Structure 1
Amino acid sequence: MAAHEPVQTTNLDGYGNKPLPWSRAWNRVEADLPKMETAGFLATAGPDGRPHSTGIGALKVGDDIYFTSGPRTRKSRNLASNPACTLSLRLEGMDLVLEGEATRVTDGATVQRVARAYSESGWPAEAEGDALTAPFSAPSAGPPPWYLYRLAFDVAFGVATAEPHGATRWRFER
């Protein structure tokens, strides 16, 4: 059973392919997001509407998707003023874009649980209060500590890059 069951599925394919099942997309998220090498890009907008996109290390823990960001980075400043964002993922056999809102996670138990999951995936993160620290991070992350964010999505777009092909939009209730 796939998490986040869609309430609406729309076939966007112009070549006669059937709509992609959400379970195919979510199964790829489950398989690929424990891997730090899975390409993910977060897009945010600043208070003036100017767009910003940057690579991130997203991670699925339970039924949620998390990412980190330094407090002084542009993405953290943008999310503080406007939580709307997209997360674009290059999964095996599918490109997936999740649209929703990111909120900062400050619950100590969740921060510790996600820090352990990051550490198990190859990034030696540790919880420090309501943020994460590690001996290293992405060069653009800024110095530690790093905030933890949870993405709550209500729309997803999938384009299959492997058979069976197709393009689909899914809508969800949050």
Structure 2
Amino acid sequence: MNDPVTTLDARFSAPGAEPTSWQATQEVLENAQITWLTTVRADGRPHVTPLVAVWLDGALHFATGPEEQKAVNLAANPNVVLTAGRDTWDEGVDVVVEGPAYRVTDSATLERLAAAWRTKWDGQWAYEVGDGVFRNDVGGPALVFAVDPTKVLAFTKGTYAQTRHAP
């Protein structure tokens, strides 16, 4: 998502609150050490798990093994919610990203994403690219997914503002 329409929801914001800028919202996504992914199981039950994600080219990206629950869930239903922020009630910004997840298999894009993972976590997440997946020395292949947001909500705490960013 680039240059979204930004609106403040006054129903859930303090009097006089200002909307959270798109730049401030992106900074939360770019800097989050942990992001929580919510998928839906085939029987309709939710599945929530923490993971490391990278914001690149207006989309949030994550990786998972092909047999992991989140990959199984995405095969049946691509709609996801990703959340990032702080575990405080009175400061910071929490961000919710909604949209469908889709596989990224293009080698050039995967190479850029692998570089972003290495940079963000000082080399602790080192992926190699091959056959449309990430590979490393820890486990088997990892499928890479992107979420182009259909809606992003930013919840500013302390000043209490709920902001919506949408294409």
Q: State the TM-score, normalizing by the size of structure 1.
A: 0.81
In the alignment, structure 1 segments of 5+ residues that lack a partner are 137-142
Give the alignment of 1:7-18 within 5 angstroms: 8-18=7-17
Q: Report % sequence identity.
A: 26
How many residues are treated as equivalent by the alignment? 159
1:1-174 equivalences under 5 Å are: 3-6=2-5, 8-23=7-22, 24-30=24-30, 32-33=31-32, 38-90=33-85, 93-121=92-120, 122=123, 123-136=125-138, 143-162=139-158, 165-173=159-167
Q: State the shift of 1:100 in Å.
A: 0.9
Distance 2:59 2:50 in 1: 19
Distance 1:14 1:161 in 2: 10
In structure 2, runs of 5+ residues without a counterpart are none
Which secondary structure state, in structure 2, belongs to the residue aligned with residue 110 of structure 1?
helix
Q: In structure 2, what is the Cα distance between the partners aligned to 1:106 and 1:57?
A: 19
Kindly state the Cα deviation for residue 14 of structure 1 after the two structures are TM-superposed. 4.5
The structural deviation recorded for 1:124 is 1.1
The aligned amino acid for 1:48 is D
RMSD of equivalent CA atoms: 2.2
**Displacement, 1:16?**
1.6
1:65-86 Cα offsets, whole Å, 9 max, x none, are 1100110011001111101010
